[in-house]
Chain A
Amino acid sequence: MPNKPFAITLNVGSSLANKTGSWRTERPVYVDRLPPCNNACPAGENIQGWLYQGEEGGDGYYRAWHQIMLDNPFPAIMGRVCYHPCETVCNRAQLDTAVGINSVERFLGDEAIKQGWTIEPDAPPSGKKVLIIGAGPSGLSAAYHLTMLGHKVTIADSGRAPGGMMRYGIPKYRLPRDVLDAEIARILDMGVTLGLNRTVRNVADEMAAGGFDAAFLAVGAHIGRRAYIPAGEAAHILDAVSVLRSMEGEQKPLLGRSVAVVGGGNTAMDVARTAKRLGATDAVVVYRRTRDRMPAHDFEVEEAIEEGVEMRWLSTVKHADAGKLLIEKMVMDEAGFPQPTGDFEELEADSLVLAMGQDADLALLDGVPGIEADDGVVKVNQAMMTGHPGIFAGGDMVPDDRTVTVGIGHGKKAARNIDAWLRDSRYEPGHKHEVAHYDKLNTWYYADAPATVRPTLDIARRTSTFEEVVGGLDETNALYEARRCLSCGNCFECDNCYGVCPDNAVVKLGAGNRFEFNYDYCKGCGICVQECPCGAIEMEPETI
Chain B
Amino acid sequence: MPYQPIKFYQTGSFVVGNRLLDQNERSVQSDTERLNSLTSGHRACQGCGEALGARYALDAVAKATGGRMIAANATGCLEVFSTPFPETSWRIPWIHSLFGNAPAVATGIAAAMHAKGRDDIRVVGQGGDGGTIDIGFGCLSGMFERNDDVLYICYDNEAYMNTGVQRSGATPPAARTATTQAVGPNPGNVFGQGKDMPRIAMAHEIPYVATATVAELRDLEAKVERAMSFRGARYIHVFVPCPLGWGSSSNDTIKLARLVKETGLFPVFEAEHGEVTAVSKIRRRIPVEEYLRPQRRYAHLFGEHGHPETIERIQALADRNIARYALLDDLPDSLKPPGSAVGRQVRWQSEDLSEQTSAMAILTETTGAH
Q: Which residues of B contact A526 (CB under 8 A)?
A: 47, 249-251
State whether the Cβ of B17 lies closer than 8 Å to any Cβ in chain A.
Answer: yes
Find residues 343-369 in chain B having any chain A CB closer than 8 Å to their own CB.
Answer: 367-369
Q: Which residues of B contact A533 (CB under 8 A)?
A: 11, 15
Q: Which residues of A contact B52 (CB under 8 A)?
A: 500-502
A520 to B39, CA, bound (A): 13
State whether the Cβ of A215 lies closer than 8 Å to any Cβ in chain B.
Answer: no
State whether the Cβ of A208 lies closer than 8 Å to any Cβ in chain B.
Answer: no
> In the complex, are the beta carbons of A451 and B367 less than 8 A apart?
yes
A444 to B261, CA, bound (A): 13
> In the complex, are the beta carbons of B16 and A449 less than 8 A apart?
no
**CB of A3 to closest CB in B, whole Å:** 14
Flag the segment in A8-16, A354-362, A398-406 that touches B. A8-16
State whether the Cβ of A18 lies closer than 8 Å to any Cβ in chain B.
Answer: yes
Whether A487 contacts B10 in the complex (CB less than 8 A), given A55-B20, A525-B250, A530-B254, comes out as yes
**CB of B318 to closest CB in A, whole Å:** 19
> In the complex, are the beta carbons of B85 and A10 less than 8 A apart?
yes
> In the complex, are the beta carbons of B11 and A447 less than 8 A apart?
yes
Interface of A is mostly: loop
Find residues 317-363 in chain A having any chain B CB closer than 8 Å to their own CB.
Answer: none
Binary per-residue interface labels of chain B (35-52) against chain A in the complex, 1 for a CB within 8 Å, 0 otherwise:
010111111101111011
A486 to B8, CA, bound (A): 11
Q: Pick the contact of A446 from B7, B12, B27 — CB < 8 Å?
A: B12
Q: Which residues of B contact A18 (CB under 8 A)?
A: 41-43, 87
Central interface residue in A19, A453, A523, by most chain B CB within 10 Å: A523
Q: Which residues of B contact A527 (CB under 8 A)?
A: 47, 250-251, 253-254
Q: Which residues of A contact B27 (CB under 8 A)?
A: 495, 499
Q: Which residues of A contact B134 (CB under 8 A)?
A: none
State whether the Cβ of A302 lies closer than 8 Å to any Cβ in chain B.
Answer: no
Which single residue of chain A is at the shortest CB-CB distance from B251?
A526
A530 to B252, CA, bound (A): 7
> In the complex, are the beta carbons of B30 and A495 less than 8 A apart?
yes
Q: Which residues of B contact A448 (CB under 8 A)?
A: 9, 12, 367-369
A511 to B49, CA, bound (A): 28
A521 to B89, CA, bound (A): 13
Q: Which residues of B contact A496 (CB under 8 A)?
A: 15-17
Q: Which residues of B contact A15 (CB under 8 A)?
A: 39-43, 82, 87-89
A17 to B88, CA, bound (A): 10
Binary per-residue interface labels of chain B (94-119) against chain A in the complex, 1 for a CB within 8 Å, 0 otherwise:
00000000000000000000000000
State whether the Cβ of B258 lies closer than 8 Å to any Cβ in chain A.
Answer: yes
**CB of A186 to closest CB in B, whole Å:** 30
Which single residue of chain A is at the shortest CB-CB distance from B368?
A448
State whether the Cβ of B315 lies closer than 8 Å to any Cβ in chain A.
Answer: no
A253 to B252, CA, bound (A): 67
**CB of B55 to closest CB in A, whole Å:** 7
Which single residue of chain B is at the shortest CB-CB distance from A486?
B10
**CB of A447 to closest CB in B, whole Å:** 2
Which single residue of chain B is at the shortest CB-CB distance from A24?
B46
**CB of B257 to closest CB in A, whole Å:** 11
State whether the Cβ of A193 lies closer than 8 Å to any Cβ in chain B.
Answer: no
Q: Pick the contact of B32 from A449, A485, A508, A525 — CB < 8 Å?
A: A508
Find residues 44-100 in chain B having any chain A CB closer than 8 Å to their own CB.
Answer: 44, 46-49, 51-52, 55, 82, 85-89
Interface of B is mostly: loop
Central interface residue in B9, B27, B32, by most chain A CB within 10 Å: B9
Q: Which residues of B contact A56 (CB under 8 A)?
A: 20
Q: Which residues of B contact A529 (CB under 8 A)?
A: 251
State whether the Cβ of B321 lies closer than 8 Å to any Cβ in chain A.
Answer: no
Q: Which residues of A contact B36 (CB under 8 A)?
A: 504
**CB of B242 to closest CB in A, whole Å:** 12
Binary per-residue interface labels of chain A (186-223) against chain B in the complex, 1 for a CB within 8 Å, 0 otherwise:
00000000000000000000000000000000000000
> In the complex, are the beta carbons of A498 and B16 less than 8 A apart?
yes
Which single residue of chain A is at the shortest CB-CB distance from B53?
A502
**CB of A271 to closest CB in B, whole Å:** 41
> In the complex, are the beta carbons of B39 and A504 less than 8 A apart?
yes
**CB of A405 to closest CB in B, whole Å:** 26
> In the complex, are the beta carbons of A449 and B9 less than 8 A apart?
yes
Whether A531 contacts B40 in the complex (CB less than 8 A), given A10-B86, A11-B86, comes out as no
State whether the Cβ of B212 lies closer than 8 Å to any Cβ in chain A.
Answer: no
> In the complex, are the beta carbons of B87 and A444 less than 8 A apart?
no
State whether the Cβ of A126 lies closer than 8 Å to any Cβ in chain B.
Answer: no
> In the complex, are the beta carbons of A23 and B46 less than 8 A apart?
yes
Find residues 256-306 in chain B having any chain A CB closer than 8 Å to their own CB.
Answer: 258, 284
State whether the Cβ of B168 lies closer than 8 Å to any Cβ in chain A.
Answer: no
Which single residue of chain A is at the shortest CB-CB distance from B253?
A527
Q: Which residues of A contact B82 (CB under 8 A)?
A: 15
Q: Which residues of A contact B43 (CB under 8 A)?
A: 15, 18, 20
Which single residue of chain A is at the shortest CB-CB distance from B8?
A483
Find residues 116-141 in chain A having any chain B CB closer than 8 Å to their own CB.
Answer: none
A15 to B51, CA, bound (A): 14
Binary per-residue interface labels of chain A (418-458) against chain B in the complex, 1 for a CB within 8 Å, 0 otherwise:
00000000000000000000000000111111110100000
A505 to B86, CA, bound (A): 22
Q: Which residues of B contact A494 (CB under 8 A)?
A: 11, 15-19
> In the complex, are the beta carbons of B16 and A503 less than 8 A apart?
no
State whether the Cβ of B29 lies closer than 8 Å to any Cβ in chain A.
Answer: yes
Find residues 24-56 in chain A having any chain B CB closer than 8 Å to their own CB.
Answer: 55-56
**CB of B282 to closest CB in A, whole Å:** 13
> In the complex, are the beta carbons of B17 and A493 less than 8 A apart?
yes
A503 to B40, CA, bound (A): 5
State whether the Cβ of B328 lies closer than 8 Å to any Cβ in chain A.
Answer: no
Q: Which residues of B contact A480 (CB under 8 A)?
A: 9
Q: Pick the contact of A525 from B6, B86, B253 — CB < 8 Å?
A: B253
> In the complex, are the beta carbons of A447 and B32 less than 8 A apart?
no
State whether the Cβ of A249 lies closer than 8 Å to any Cβ in chain B.
Answer: no
Which single residue of chain B is at the shortest CB-CB distance from A28?
B251
Q: Pick the contact of A16 from B6, B39, B86, B217 — CB < 8 Å?
A: B39
Central interface residue in A447, A494, A511, A520, by most chain B CB within 10 Å: A447
Q: Which residues of A contact B48 (CB under 8 A)?
A: 502, 525
State whether the Cβ of A313 lies closer than 8 Å to any Cβ in chain B.
Answer: no
A445 to B44, CA, bound (A): 27
State whether the Cβ of B13 lies closer than 8 Å to any Cβ in chain A.
Answer: yes
Q: Which residues of A contact B29 (CB under 8 A)?
A: 495, 498-499
A531 to B249, CA, bound (A): 13
Which single residue of chain B is at the shortest CB-CB distance from A500?
B254
Which single residue of chain B is at the shortest CB-CB distance from A497?
B16
A131 to B85, CA, bound (A): 78
**CB of B252 to closest CB in A, whole Å:** 7
A487 to B243, CA, bound (A): 30
State whether the Cβ of B14 lies closer than 8 Å to any Cβ in chain A.
Answer: yes
Q: Which residues of B contact A20 (CB under 8 A)?
A: 40-43
- Name 14 extra pairs, CB < 8 A, besides A450-B9, A483-B8, A499-B16: A14-B39, A18-B87, A20-B40, A20-B41, A447-B6, A448-B12, A448-B367, A450-B367, A494-B15, A496-B16, A504-B55, A525-B46, A526-B250, A531-B255
Per CB-CB distance, the 6 closest pairs between chain A and chain B, nearest first, are: A447-B12, A495-B17, A499-B16, A526-B251, A15-B41, A525-B47
> What would 29 A/B residue contacts be, using CB atoms closer than 8 Å?
A18-B43, A18-B87, A20-B42, A55-B8, A55-B10, A56-B20, A445-B12, A446-B12, A447-B11, A447-B14, A448-B12, A450-B7, A450-B369, A484-B10, A486-B10, A487-B10, A492-B19, A494-B18, A495-B17, A498-B17, A502-B44, A502-B48, A502-B49, A504-B38, A504-B40, A525-B47, A526-B47, A526-B250, A530-B254
Binding site for B on A (CB under 8 A): 8, 10-20, 23, 55-56, 444-451, 453, 480, 483-487, 492-496, 498-505, 508, 510-511, 518, 520-521, 523-527, 529-531, 533
